[in-house]
Chain A
């Protein structure tokens, strides 16, 4: 196969100890097994990619990790602690996510969206808020400053007071990342961060993900854009029909005949805009 036009995969950078460990995660909906016995380990400072054809169970697996679904079997540990299947507990433990179909708070400004992300790391309660003591003002100031900092970080420093619903699509994706980062995660899960983006925006997105990694976070990315994921990730898991088909470095995965077969065999032969079917899939 002509996979040579993809640039060589990145050499894994200094990999730390495991931060997220999913063991035997299985999710059944009635008779359908959407995710079957999936193991995944993410190490500190690592970018892990999750690929697979449509309906392979990638997003379902994400939902199991983040507590939106309670896995039928298996367990997820973050830094050695077992995560309860409750979204809030997962965020508090240090794992944040974005959504495949953007779920911003549309009628709030960009800044307010990110400030909501700070909710679980701040503690002003009713009486503090009503009496407006020094603690309240200090915390509110800090929340605002941190939110602005994160907006600057993702490149939205100029759109602070824009309504989320008025922002361009690419900016909304970045805002969602900023909101997730505001929860001070150790690990961030990105569900199709480049869906619907043009090549230039995709480039910006991958730069952003590298910067997130460089700031000390581990990243897990679901993507369909193969070139994007092979350039980005230290390690890639290919999920097919709810099971891990291959796991390895981008080089190993993209040359694995089973991966190629899973994609071509899936009949997803539409939408190729450049290169052979296996190099860039936009499903």
Chain B
């Protein structure tokens, strides 16, 4: 199995246990598997061109023949992916199949298709009152999915070469990155446009199935390697995608308002990731630093309710907000960072609450009137930098960009700064010091690392970045009140990091997007979202404690006894150093 262990499979390989079980299924390895898979794909895709539902109001409209809608197109895409893997398994794409565990990919896609079809038909039956409302197309596609799954279970994984050592030309690598980026942009725009919760859930299932299939096949090992190799291209591509996103929205503010919220959340989580992911400090009151920045932004704004008469230009406000936050970080950090982890968590938790109560009490009757107490500071005017008014729509190349799109670009800049700070600090003397502290604080101290200084720097630096984001948030939100900065928000920031992956940029962005986007799109689970997130986190802790996209080092830290993983990661590291050189 060692050759098929990839980045995203679990460190402890439980396939070793599964294989004997699968071996007992009759027909495993039979020659019929491959043709069966092809037939499955044909039937699955064929079914999508027929209507799935009798009524036209379920999951968009599934009642029209020969006009597949989004839910059906997902199945077509999945079918095409399965076809490609089947052809790579045996057929014209054999050359690629040599490097991939194609059987595992077909298996995952088949099982994913079955789950997808069952849920889809279930929703149709439930919403329109009975199985009778399912049209033949739906049953045909389900049959195709079942055949594909059976084929996947019958196919035997062939011995394949490790994709880590695949030597590929740079045009292939760069075009892969471009295609992936384009898919991300297209997928994000599409997902945001989905109206109903059911379709969104199905889209999520589709994306997960394809991602898991690629992981199982080992494709992400190669993607991870080329991402390391072509880092500038990747970064440029990612920012191009993020930059182009507002242009796909046709001037609509609805999705852009969600996007800006995701961006604020992600930027703050990235700042927290310096504290938690790099320096290894548990901070449970991080939202207070965002709040401190927001209050500075509000108090120094042109709002009629602002209590301070000084109205500096915005760039100065950003700096003041960031410095004020950093100062709070220093004040709270210098007495507490000398003690070990648990105490820090409690102190920061209390600090978050103290901040909120203080802001609620600085209302003139309990203290100086700075924050207007629980009423907060409303009516914060939109930013205007030079002649650019953030409140007004602008038209660029015929595409109108509304108010939220304007803030989106500014927040993108802030996120870029935070990412830059994060990655550069990570790969520096300071970053090495942080790793050493996480590994063995005493040994680090005995080797001359300034443990306290580095911890305080992480704490204050993280606060600085959150303060910066906070000043923009004040203008974006129009009003600042104490109850926006409750403990739950800090907990969500931490959850984004744990879910996404400690110590990586991509992981935190994914985690933040999931945590912010899901409640927006799945309104029907809004009441249960805490329950669901709690459950997800428990499952993550059990099966993938390092998060979805974890750094090598963090993965190693979470699997102290896994020798095989350590050897594998060393091999990946060696290969990465080699391709970079």
Q: How far is the CB of B422 from chain A (nearest CB, A)?
A: 10
B446 at the A interface (CB under 8 A): yes
Among A238-265, those with CB < 8 Å from B are none
What 11 additional pairs, Cβ within 8 angstroms, besides A88-B448, A105-B443, A132-B424? Answer: A96-B448, A104-B440, A106-B560, A108-B553, A116-B435, A116-B444, A126-B461, A130-B425, A165-B556, A165-B566, A183-B447
* B446, A136: Cβ atoms closer than 8 Å: no
B433-456 interface bits toward A, Cβ cutoff 8 Å, 1 = contact, 0 = none: 101100110111111111100000
Give chain B residues whose Cβ lies under 8 Å from the Cβ of A122.
429
| CB within 8 Å for A140 and B445 given contacts A107-B557, A165-B566 | no
Instruction: Give 16 pairs: A residue, B residue, CB < 8 Å, sorted on A.
Output: A66-B446, A104-B440, A107-B553, A108-B435, A116-B433, A116-B449, A119-B449, A119-B450, A124-B428, A124-B430, A129-B431, A130-B420, A166-B566, A179-B447, A180-B447, A183-B447
Give chain A residues whose Cβ lies under 8 Å from the Cβ of B569.
163
Flag the segment in B179-187, B261-269, B570-578 that touches A: B570-578
Among A210-261, those with CB < 8 Å from B are none
Give chain A residues whose Cβ lies under 8 Å from the Cβ of B577.
161
The interface of chain A, by Cβ under 8 A from chain B, is 66, 68, 87-88, 91-92, 96-97, 99, 103-109, 112, 115-122, 124-126, 129-130, 132, 136, 139-140, 143, 161-163, 165-166, 179-180, 183
CA distance A132 to B421 in the complex (A): 11
Among B264-308, those with CB < 8 Å from A are none
* A108, B439: Cβ atoms closer than 8 Å: yes
Among B446-480, those with CB < 8 Å from A are 446-451, 457, 461
* B429, A105: Cβ atoms closer than 8 Å: no
* B433, A119: Cβ atoms closer than 8 Å: yes
* A126, B457: Cβ atoms closer than 8 Å: yes
* A107, B443: Cβ atoms closer than 8 Å: no
CA distance A105 to B573 in the complex (A): 16
CA distance A108 to B438 in the complex (A): 11
The interface of chain B, by Cβ under 8 A from chain A, is 420-421, 424-425, 428-433, 435-436, 439-440, 442-451, 457, 461, 553, 556-557, 560, 563, 566-567, 569-570, 573-574, 577
* B445, A143: Cβ atoms closer than 8 Å: no
* B429, A143: Cβ atoms closer than 8 Å: yes
Give chain B residues whose Cβ lies under 8 Å from the Cβ of A125.
430
Q: How far is the CB of B146 from chain A (nearest CB, A)?
A: 45
CA distance A163 to B570 in the complex (A): 6
* A129, B430: Cβ atoms closer than 8 Å: yes
* A119, B442: Cβ atoms closer than 8 Å: no
CA distance A104 to B447 in the complex (A): 10
CA distance A157 to B440 in the complex (A): 24
Measured CB to CB, the nearest residue on chain B to A124 is B429
CA distance A254 to B451 in the complex (A): 43
* B435, A140: Cβ atoms closer than 8 Å: no
CA distance A180 to B447 in the complex (A): 7
Give chain A residues whose Cβ lies under 8 Å from the Cβ of B431.
129
Give chain A residues whose Cβ lies under 8 Å from the Cβ of B449.
88, 116, 119-120
Q: How far is the CB of A219 from chain B (nearest CB, A)?
A: 17
Measured CB to CB, the nearest residue on chain B to A176 is B443
Give chain B residues whose Cβ lies under 8 Å from the Cβ of A66.
446
Give chain B residues whose Cβ lies under 8 Å from the Cβ of A121.
448
Give chain B residues whose Cβ lies under 8 Å from the Cβ of A96.
447-448
* B436, A105: Cβ atoms closer than 8 Å: yes
